């Protein structure tokens, strides 16, 4: 059966369960991996969940191993879902350019559906996550499909902001850590969008968080968006541009808490330091009825 979940490993964790899973994805056309942490409360019925999108070079394990989020998620009764960041395996490794650099191809799916050849065949991360993975998880695991939030880091922060803005109502809460805020105006985004979407830059804007927010007629998240950014982040000036998303939120009337933290870099020690605030942000909004 195409939709069945294969458990790769299962671990007891803070009274809940951490599972690493795989399924045959119809959208990607290949097996895809993801991880799910179910808190103890999931033993008694469906729980709210937060989808975490990871950054360049990461996979479905990175967040669960490095962020230190499970203890608080167990206390708050929140499930955590962490998908892989691109298609993988022999079928895609042989595509020219798939493994040549760490910011494009494998480990760098950018959470969109590619339209340009040869990427369009398998690089369908947006459809995989939104149309296939979330419905499958809600069907097969004790997760409340109506109470799902989204956050992410760097490329995954871009993914969180853009998927939330491109799918109104799908995600009830939104936050990001050091997100790529204006990918049409930074080297990582220009390389990825040029490869995955082709040379016509007009089409890129529908995957640019700042452009999407600028186009909103009213605040899509009236309960507020949280962003944390380290000021010691070596990628901040060239790649991330939080000030552009901040300006777009101001123009759209979107409440935004953008916290700038002296000394913090781009890595998982920064994420560990603020992940509790993100889980609390989501829990408050997902539990509001
Ligand atoms: N190899 C790169 C560094 C790659 C990197 O920093 N990846 C970040 C995400 S960057 C934007 O999406 C990350 O989360 N890495 C995983 C980790 O464990 O830190 C280089 O050479 O600079």
Read off the pLDDT of residues 86-128 as tens digits, 9 standing for 90 and up: 999 999 999 999 999 999 999 999 999 999 999 999 999 999 9
| 154 catalytically annotated | yes
CB 155 within 8 A of CB 55: yes
57 in contact with ligand 1, CB cutoff 6 A: yes
Cα(105) to centroid(ligand 1), Å: 14
Candidates 35, 86, 154, 175; catalytic one: 154
| 233 catalytically annotated | yes
Asked whether the ipTM of the predicted complex exceeds the cut of 0.90, the reply is yes
62 in contact with ligand 1, CB cutoff 6 A: yes
Nearest CA to ligand 1 atom 13: 55
Question: Model confidence over 20-50: pLDDT tens digits?
Answer: 999 999 999 999 999 999 999 999 999 999 9
Question: Model confidence over 205-262: pLDDT tens digits?
Answer: 999 999 999 999 999 999 999 999 999 999 999 999 999 999 999 999 999 999 999 9
Which pLDDT band holds residue 1 (cuts at 50, 70, 90)? very low
CB 112 within 8 A of CB 207: yes
Residue 4 pLDDT exceeds 90: no
């Amino acid at each position: 059966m195409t939709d069945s979940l294969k458990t790769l490993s299962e671990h007891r964790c803070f009274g809940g369960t951490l599972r690493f899973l795989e399924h045959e994805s119809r959208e990607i056309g290949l097996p895809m991996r993801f991880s799910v942490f179910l808190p103890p409360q999931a033993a008694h019925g469906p729980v709210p969940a937060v989808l975490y999108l990871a950054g360049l070079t990461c996979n479905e394990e990175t967040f669960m191993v490095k962020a230190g989020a499970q203890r608080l998620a167990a206390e708050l009764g929140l499930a955590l879902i962490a998908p892989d960041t691109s298609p993988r395996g022999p079928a895609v490794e042989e595509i020219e350019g798939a493994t040549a650099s760490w910011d494009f191809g494998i480990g760098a799916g950018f959470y969109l559906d590619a339209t340009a050849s040869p990427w369009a065949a398998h690089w369908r991360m947006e459809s995989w996550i939104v149309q296939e993975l979330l419905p499958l998880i809600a069907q097969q695991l004790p997760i409340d499909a109506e109470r799902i939030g989204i956050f992410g880091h760097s490329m995954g922060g871009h993914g969180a902001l853009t998927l939330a803005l491109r799918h109104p109502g799908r995600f009830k809460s939104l936050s990001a850590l050091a997100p790529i805020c204006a990918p049409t105006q930074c080297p990582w985004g220009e390389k990825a969008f040029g490869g995955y979407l082709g040379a016509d830059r007009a089409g890129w804007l529908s995957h640019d968080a700042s452009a999407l927010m600028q186009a909103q007629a009213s605040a899509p998240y009236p309960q507020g968006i949280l962003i944390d950014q380290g000021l010691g982040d070596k990628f901040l000036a060239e790649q991330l541009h939080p000030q552009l998303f901040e300006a777009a939120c101001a123009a759209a009337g979107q409440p935004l808490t953008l916290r700038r933290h002296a000394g913090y870099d781009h890595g998982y020690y920064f994420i560990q330091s603020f992940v509790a605030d993100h889980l609390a942000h989501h829990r408050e909004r997902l539990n509001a009825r």
